[in-house]
A and B are shown apart, each in its own frame.
Chain A
Amino acid sequence: MVALLKPRYREESSFEDTLAAHPDFPRLVALKIDVQRRGVFYTPRAEAAVDPAIHQLRSPYIFGSRDGVIKPLPESLLLRDGSTILVDPTPLEQAPYTVDYRDGRFVLLDEGRELEEVDLWPKPAYYDKQTSTGLPMSHIISARPQRLNVFQSSFCYFWAENEGCRFCDIVTHTKQQRDELGVPNRLRPQDVKETLAEAIKEPGRFTNLCLTAGSVIKGKEIFDLEVDFYIELLQAIGENFTTKKFPSQLIGSAFNERQLRRLYEETGLSSYTSDLEVLNEELFNWICPGKAKHIGYKGWRDRLIGAVDIFGRGNVGTGIVGGVEMAQPLGFKSEKDALESTLSEAEYLAERGVTTVYIAWVPRPGSAFAGQKAPSLDYFIRLARGLQDLRIKYGLSVDFDDYRRCGNHPDTDLARI
């Protein structure tokens, strides 16, 4: 089987050699990064051992996967330190890790070598239920081991203007989900409220709620309509809680001060994230043309900083697609330069109370960067360490986006110790 694999990841230093250069970096977090980077392939034996009655199968997700198909495979994996690996099935020819089922347990392998025992995500109880309008609740809110995801609308106006972010496959994936699964384009607040009420009946299962969607540029002022959608949804969600504020994250566009105040004051939202995607103005202009045209890099950044006055330090973040700063032809040519530039800009934000988190860039088949290669594991380790060191230096917590409440950021996993 090995001989059939493309040598794409085989040209790099081995996992063990890379890790040996970072003795203070946890092996499990490095493994998580590498699995995210390379993807996983489920062997037929693993597929046969998946039990849809107890394991969570892949549910609607805002972005697509690198095999470009929607199949009833496990949603994802848990490592034995309780951390999550969000990773999608990947064709064998891309040299992914393998998940097999041996001696009554799921194991993660590389080139046939057993690395770790892994667990599949348990299926939440509400996944078998339907809303009063007859929609499967799993299509309304999707689950992670400890968090609920509300993808309010999987449409982005930047795409409509042909100015979507170049790494993003949201619209390709939305069409596929709508056509193949019947997932609604936009969620009705009542369906969300009902689903959430059912989900949080399950003891000990969920610790927060994340709302996100594509950008909606419409309104009297840009994003007014997007804010209106979120407020309506958050108010419906809030009816399920006894407290005014509830642990929640909104990953939205860069809202102005008035919009942010409305969100904070009129809803129970407790944190705010708006993704700069890449921490470099020139690359932002190239990679995120819609965001660049309507708000601009500095404008987006300033709005994030302004949000700290409203939501407070430690409750405002920005997400980056780690590694996309090396996308070609315009990205950095050396990992050293890319890292220096990214961390220095992250420091500018951290000084002003905004925390930066990353997800590992996976060039997806439905995106403009399909076929490109992400940076090395060494790069992602340094990026994770660098971002967490900045949080320590500037006293920023990242409780709202950590290993449990999100699970998709290797850098915030490091905040556990």
Chain B
Amino acid sequence: MSIELSQDVIELLNDRDTIKVLASVDGNGVPHAVFKQSLHLGEDGRIHSLELIESSTTGRNLVGSIWFERKVTILLRGTDKRSVQIKGRVLKYHITGPLYLHHYNAVRERLGDVDLAGVWVIEPEQVIEQSFKDRRATEDAAHPSFIHLDRIAAH
């Protein structure tokens, strides 16, 4: 199920100015979405996200995602208004080791006296273009009968 992200999506993901949202769900199906500017492509070709607050709702939900195979969604919106949705599977949580240490040092250098609980690794499984134009073209093709008749009236 895992896919490789295309170069343009990688650029969007790694762009600091992209607005990045991570949506997860808890055990009762309650969704939770947060801005996660730390989302980026890791060297392993997967999406990495830094967890600064261990007991956060997202942190808890992602533990649930690893344990019970609940998917997460990432929404990216670039400065050019291009919008992409990535659905994925939470694969791993680094709480120690070289990758963790690299980010621990980097995040403290950038943000000062903060902690890093861990680094999430998300395996992308699906990329969906979210811009209205793209979405409309896709759905119109799939459901040609979903249309108000006044839009195709002859007069």
Enumerate chain A interface residues (CB-CB to B < 8 A).
26-29, 78, 80-82, 119, 121-122, 145-146, 203-205, 404, 416-417
A274 to B104, CA, bound (A): 34
Interface string of B88-120 (1 = CB under 8 A from A): 000111111110110011001000000010100
Q: How far is the CA of A205 from the CA of B95 in the complex (A)?
A: 9
A146: which of B61, B96, B105 is its contact (CB, 8 Å)?
Answer: B96
In the assembled complex, the CB of B117 is this many whole angstroms from the nearest CB of chain A, namely 8
Q: In the assembled complex, which residues on chain A have CB atoms less than 8 Å from the CB atom of B66?
A: 28, 80-81
Complex Cα distance, B65 from A146, in Å, reads 23
In the bound assembly, the distance between CA atoms of A122 and B96 in angstroms comes to 8
A404–B51 alpha-carbon span in the complex (Å): 14
Q: Which residues of A contact B118 (CB under 8 A)?
A: 82
CB contact between B96 and one of A28, A29, A78, A81 (< 8 Å): that residue: A78
In the complex, B60 has a CB within 8 A of chain A: yes
Task: Contact check, B67 vs A81: say whether CB atoms are below 8 A apart.
Answer: yes
Do most interface residues of chain A lie in helix, strand or loop, or is the interface mixed? loop
Which residues on A sit within 8 Å (CB–CB) of B63? Answer: 81, 416-417
- From B91, B92, B98, B104, A203 is in contact (CB under 8 Å) with B104
> Is B116's CB under 8 angstroms from A204's CB?
yes
Q: Cβ of B95: which chain A residues have Cβ within 8 Å of it? A: 78, 82, 145-146, 404
Q: Tell yes or no: B31 within 8 A of A by CB.
A: no
Is A417 within 8 A of B64, CB to CB?
yes
- B60 contacts A416, C-beta separation under 8 Å: yes
With A119-B97, A204-B101, A205-B96 already in contact, 18 other A-B pairs whose C-beta atoms are closer than 8 Å: A29-B67, A78-B96, A81-B63, A81-B67, A82-B92, A82-B95, A122-B96, A122-B97, A145-B96, A146-B95, A146-B96, A203-B105, A203-B108, A204-B100, A204-B105, A204-B116, A416-B63, A417-B27
A416 to B65, CA, bound (A): 12
Q: Chain A residues near B105: list those with CB within 8 A.
A: 203-204
Closest to B54 in A: A404
Q: Which residues of B contact A203 (CB under 8 A)?
A: 101, 104-105, 108
Within residues 31 to 59 of chain B, which ones have a CB less than 8 A from any CB in chain A? 54
Most buried by A among B63, B91, B94, B97: B63
Give the interface centre of A145, A146, A204 by most chain B CB atoms within 10 Å. A204
CB contacts (< 8 Å) of A122 on chain B: these are 96-98
Scoring B54, B63, B96, B98 by chain A CB atoms within 10 A of each residue's CB, the highest score goes to B96
Q: Shortest Cβ distance from A247 into chain B, in angstroms?
A: 12
Which residues of chain B (107-138) have a CB below 8 Å from chain A? Answer: 108, 116, 118
Q: 16 interchain pairs (CB within 8 A)? A: A29-B67, A78-B95, A80-B66, A80-B93, A82-B94, A82-B95, A121-B96, A122-B96, A145-B95, A204-B104, A204-B105, A404-B95, A416-B60, A416-B63, A417-B61, A417-B63
Residues in B with CB closer than 8 Å to A81 are 63, 66-67, 92-93
CB-CB nearest in chain B for A122:
B97
Q: Which of A27, A145, A146, A404 is close to B67, meaning CB atoms less than 8 Å apart?
A: A27
Q: Which residues of A contact B94 (CB under 8 A)?
A: 82
Min CB–CB distance A305 → chain B (angstroms): 27
CB of B68 closer than 8 Å to a CB of A: yes
Contact B67 A26 (CB under 8 A): yes
Instruction: Give the CA-CA distance A170 to B95 in the complex, in Å.
Output: 30
Complex-state Cα separation, A221 to B105, whole angstroms: 48
Q: Which residues of A contact B54 (CB under 8 A)?
A: 404
- What A residues does B68 contact at CB under 8 A? 26
Q: What are the 4 tightest A-B residue pairs by CB atom distance, in nearest-first order?
A: A204-B104, A26-B67, A82-B93, A82-B95
Cβ contact within 8 Å between A28 and B116: no
CA distance A203 to B60 in the complex (A): 24
B68's nearest neighbour on chain A, judged by CB, is: A26
Q: Which residues of A contact B27 (CB under 8 A)?
A: 417
Q: Cα distance A416–B117 when bound, in Å? A: 12
B92: chain A residues at CB < 8 Å are: 80-82
List B contacts of A26 (CB < 8 A). Answer: 67-68
Cβ contact within 8 Å between A417 and B67: yes
Hey, which chain B residues are within 8 Å of A28, CB to CB?
Answer: 66-67
B47 CB, min distance to chain A CBs, angstroms? 15
- CB proximity of A208 to chain B, nearest CB, Å: 13
Contacts of A417 in B (CB 8 A): 26-27, 60-61, 63-64, 67
**Which residues of B sit under 8 angstroms from A82, Cβ to Cβ?**
92-95, 118
Question: How far does the Cβ of A76 sit from chain B's closest Cβ, in whole Å?
Answer: 12
Give the chain B neighbours of A80 by CB distance below 8 A.
Answer: 66, 91-93
Name the B residues within 8 Å of A404 (CB-CB). Answer: 54, 95
In the bound complex, CA of A122 to CA of B104 (Å)? 15
Minimum CB–CB distance from B94 to chain A (whole Å) comes to: 7
B60 contacts which chain A residues (CB < 8 A)? 416-417
A404, B100: Cα distance in complex, Å: 14
Expressed in whole angstroms, the Cα–Cα distance for A417 and B54 within the complex equals 11
Q: How far is the CB of B91 from chain A (nearest CB, A)?
A: 7
For the complex formed, measure the closest distance between the CB of A69 and the CB atoms of chain B, giving whole angstroms. Answer: 27
